[in-house]
C-alpha cells in the first residue's frame, strides 16, 4: 500500500490544501491479497466527520487494509467543519472542491478510472452528509455513495430560533454554514430536493449505501431520509443494527460498504 500526503493549490478554496491518499499499487505477490494488474483503479473520496481531520480514517479505521483488499484508491480530504458545502460569502467552495476539483486533480496524478461507475464518494457523520449532498450535486461524476451515520441535520435545524444550541453548535454557526435556515429545506443543501433534481434532469441516481446504529443520536434523521427514498422508489441499501456514533460501528460498516460497492 502506497500511502501519501499531498498538498496542492485549490482554486475552489483559494489556498493550499492537504489530503491523504492510499494507492494499492505496490503489493508484492504471496501475501494473499490482489496484486495491481496495471488497469485504472476505482476511486473512493472518503470524508471525515465534525471536529475531525483528513487523518481520521487512517488513524482510526482499517481503511489501508480494505483499500488493498478491494483494490480501491482512497482519497481523504479535509472538510474543516464546513459540512463540505460551498460558502459564497467566504469564497470557499468546499462542495465544488470535493465534487469536481479534487476528482480532476487526482485523475491527473494517479492511474484512476474516469468511469462514473468506478468513482465513489463516502463519509461518516458530517462526511456522510457531505457524501450524500455532493454525490447528488455531482451525480454525473459519482456512481456510488457510501453514507455512514449521516448528519442529515437540515431536518433538525431548518427554521430554528436564534437562541438555538444543541450542545454541538449554535444558531450562528449553523447559519454561517447552511445560510438562511428558514429557506434550508428545498435548497441545494437539502438532500431530498437534490434527489428530485437529479431525476428531473434525467440523470441516473448514484447507487446509495446507508448505515446507522440503533443507538446513534442521528438514527431518526437517517430513518427519515431512508423513508423518503423508499417513497420515491429510489433504490438504495439501508443497514441498521446495534451500534453507536463511533469508530467501532464505522470500521465495520466501511468494510461492508466496500464489499457492496465492488459487487
User: Consecutive 10-residue runs of the chain (263 residues): their mean pLDDT?
Assistant: 96 98 86 85 98 98 96 97 96 98 98 98 98 98 98 98 96 98 98 98 97 98 98 96 98 98 94
What does pTM read for this prediction?
0.97
Predicted confidence at residue 61, as pLDDT, reads 98
Q: pLDDT at position 27, please? A: 77
∠ at Cα 6 (257, 53), nearest 5°? 55
pLDDT number for residue 123: 98
Give CA–CA dist 184/200, Å, rounded. Answer: 20
Helices (H) and strands (E) in the chain, counts: 10, 10
pLDDT tens per residue across span 82-127: 999 999 999 999 999 999 999 999 999 999 999 999 999 999 999 9
How far apart CA 174 and CA 164 sit, in angstroms, is 10
pLDDT for position 35: 87
pLDDT at residue 36, rounded to an integer: 87
Say if strands 15-23 and 2-10 run parallel, antiparallel, or are unpaired.
antiparallel
pLDDT reported for residue 150:
98
Q: Where are the beta strands (DSSP E) in the chain?
A: 2-10, 15-23, 42-47, 72-76, 86-87, 92-93, 119-124, 144-148, 207-213, 237-241
What is the structure's pLDDT at 73? Answer: 98
Per-residue pLDDT at 209? 98
Amino acid at each position: 500500500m502506497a500511502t501519501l500526503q499531498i498538498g496542492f493549490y485549490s482554486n475552489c478554496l483559494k489556498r493550499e490544501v492537504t489530503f491523504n491518499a492510499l494507492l494499492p499499487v505496490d503489493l508484492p505477490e504471496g501475501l494473499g491479497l490482489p496484486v495491481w494488474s496495471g488497469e485504472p483503479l476505482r476511486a473512493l473520496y472518503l470524508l471525515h466527520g465534525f471536529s475531525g481531520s483528513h487523518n481520521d480514517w487512517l488513524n482510526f479505521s482499517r481503511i489501508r487494509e480494505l483499500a488493498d483488499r478491494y483494490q480501491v484508491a482512497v482519497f481523504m480530504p479535509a472538510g474543516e467543519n464546513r459540512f463540505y458545502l460551498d460558502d459564497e460569502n467566504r469564497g470557499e467552495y468546499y462542495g465544488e472542491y470535493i465534487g469536481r476539483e479534487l476528482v480532476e486533480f487526482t485523475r491527473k496524478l494517479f492511474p484512476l478510472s474516469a468511469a462514473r461507475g468506478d468513482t465513489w464518494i463516502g463519509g461518516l457523520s458530517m462526511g456522510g452528509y457531505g457524501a450524500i449532498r455532493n454525490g447528488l450535486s455531482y451525480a454525473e461524476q459519482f456512481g456510488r455513495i457510501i453514507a455512514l451515520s449521516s448528519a442529515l441535520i437540515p431536518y433538525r435545524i431548518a427554521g430554528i430560533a436564534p437562541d438555538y444550541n444543541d450542545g454541538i453548535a449554535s444558531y450562528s454557526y449553523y447559519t454561517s454554514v447552511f445560510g438562511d435556515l428558514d429557506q434550508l429545506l428545498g435548497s441545494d443543501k437539502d438532500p431530498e430536493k437534490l434527489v428530485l433534481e437529479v431525476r428531473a434532469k434525467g440523470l441516473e441516481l448514484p447507487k446509495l449505501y446507508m448505515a446507522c446504529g440503533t443507538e446513534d443520536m442521528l438514527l431518526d434523521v437517517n430513518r427519515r431520509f431512508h423513508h423518503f427514498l423508499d417513497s420515491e422508489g429510489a433504490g438504495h441499501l439501508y443497514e441498521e443494527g446495534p451500534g453507536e456514533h463511533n469508530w467501532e460501528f464505522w470500521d465495520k460498516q466501511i468494510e461492508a460498504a466496500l464489499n457492496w460497492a465492488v459487487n
